[in-house]
Chain A
């Protein structure tokens, strides 16, 4: 019984230690793929957005405070992965890319709400709806990057 306790405790700690790098194991595998493939596969999520969600209008589009508040929220919740200037990082794609900038606000809102869970982006529906629209407003206010600039590989968006 005593040995069981010790073994189980060791198992729990070992499992935690295993869990730490496990999310990166996939990214290691994916590193073998080309950057272009990953780039397109991640933005391909936009195609899965339902038409009804895609056509939703941004209720804060005329709110002068929305981009500023959205920037604050972006820095708090999104910049860690997407980069402080939203140019992307090793974890998440650029939000200045044309795929993002040409997407409808409803598309971005849907992606933000539902996440891309299997690719590492969590659901952000825990942020109230107006805050998600503020983030969308900020993202849409960004200057698009030059077409030649590739987005960096995304493993875990947002």
Chain B
């Protein structure tokens, strides 16, 4: 499946990344997931349909959510691509969720490559619900410029950035830290989430970049039906996301930025699986015309307990 066998001097030094790449793309990944599935119990989830925007709800403590997402994008001036990422989201406590991302992409008529990893942390500093609930988001990214998952759009990100062939784009590497303020409120079943973001490439010469994501969503039914069912309306959540870049410290604003509007839907199955679908449409000439995203996730409970027992916890 890996088409990336061009000899490059830096490649051998990425030993651990190479191992992660193997884990992500080879047959061992399903085996690992199967192992996890046997060791821990599936948990029922109530996931939002958002793929870019975050609400203020964190992972339940001790639960691990394994998520796979795809992002198919059309590309003018290049070839279309299919980017994908694996998320391992763990509820360390009721106020702290930590998450590891492994990113990859296939550019059609080009190659398939591993593009890097991200480590994200979300912390809820408050003990209870407020009118608008702030959650602090911090992320470290180590990704190549061939990364196309577009988990966020920031600064002057534009469609043309993704036109380069993989062999060229992967030569550039980004070490970035990203901060978001996740503001979210649920009222009468409606969730409204607003995420301003600021990103800094760790190179001193690079400016701070800014962006935003806004989401609104609502379940199709607010009351649960009495019977256990896959197709009950309360299992479906529909929403819409708006996200884009806001320039950087040298050129703040919407000049030379891209923006997207993306309807989104989530189907939460009682068995613990969640399916998400979100077609995104570019709102200006700098944007990809279409980003078609979908994701499949499953939540497992008792992971923390299992690991704790491995470390010899006595009960």
Residues of A within 8 A of B (CB): 2-6, 8-10, 12-13, 15-17, 19-24, 28, 31, 65, 68-70, 72-73, 76-77, 80, 90-91, 113-123, 125-131, 134, 156
Q: A20-B304, A72-B224 are in contact. List 9 more A-B contacts (CB 8 A).
A: A6-B14, A12-B140, A13-B100, A23-B62, A65-B225, A80-B301, A120-B94, A123-B128, A126-B191
Among B14, B302, B308, the one with the most A-chain Cβ atoms within 10 Å of its Cβ is: B308
Q: How large is the interface on B (under 10, 10 to 19, 20 to 34, 35 or more residues)?
A: 35 or more
Count, A-B residue pairs, CB within 8 A: 152
Residues of B within 8 A of A (CB): 10, 13-17, 20, 41, 43-44, 46, 48, 55, 57-58, 60-62, 88, 90-96, 98, 100, 117, 119, 124, 126-129, 140, 142, 173, 175, 186, 188-189, 191, 219, 222-228, 234, 270, 301-305, 307-308, 311, 313-315
| Contact sample, A vs B, 22 pairs, CB 8 Å cutoff | A16-B100, A19-B92, A20-B92, A21-B304, A21-B313, A23-B304, A24-B305, A24-B308, A68-B226, A73-B224, A80-B41, A113-B129, A114-B127, A116-B94, A118-B95, A120-B94, A122-B58, A126-B57, A128-B186, A130-B224, A131-B224, A134-B223
Chain A residues with CB under 8 A of B304: 20-21, 23-24
What is the CA–CA distance of A134 and B82 in the complex, to the nearest angstrom?
A: 42
**Closest beta carbon of chain A to B298's beta carbon, Å:** 14
**Closest beta carbon of chain B to A126's beta carbon, Å:** 5
The one of A20, A73, A130 that contacts B303, using a Cβ cutoff of 8 Å: A20
